[in-house]
Amino acid sequence: MIDHTFSFPRMIWTFASFVLIAFGFSPLILLLSYLLIYALYVFVAVINYVSVGILLKKYPKEQHYYLRLWWVTLTLPLYMFICSWIRLIGIINSMTTKASWKMRGISTEMDQLKNVLKDDVKTIKEQRQKDRKGE
């Protein structure tokens, strides 16, 4: 869904939990709130799982394979959380390091496209000539 949009807020709330505990919030309440959030993420995953299962009715083999993967709905929120950390590290790295790759301009891209097309046409012509000689 829009999970990538919330990389920074998710990280802020992860660290804010420690600050809230330092300010006297109950660790039990924080734990229960995180369990509730996890359950809501699982609920969304279950809704997506059921929806895809319904959409796969026309494809029984694929549906059978997909329906055996029900357990993924329970682990999906944890996977998304780990991926959000990896995504955050990538965002920070891209902002703080100089890119080792450079973007090509449209004229360079068009020139390369023309060269590929010319080469393809040449290859087709050569193949046709070989086929005619073989006949």
What pTM was computed for the model? 0.60
Q: CA torsion sign, 110 to 112 to 115 to 119?
A: negative
Q: Tell me the pLDDT band of 5, cut-offs 50, 70 and 90.
A: low
What is the separation of C-alpha 129 from the centre of its chain, rounded to a whole number of angstroms?
Answer: 46
Tokens, residue 89: 């590290």
Tokens, residue 101: 């790759």
Q: 14-51 pLDDT, tens per residue?
A: 888 889 899 999 999 999 998 999 999 999 999 999 99
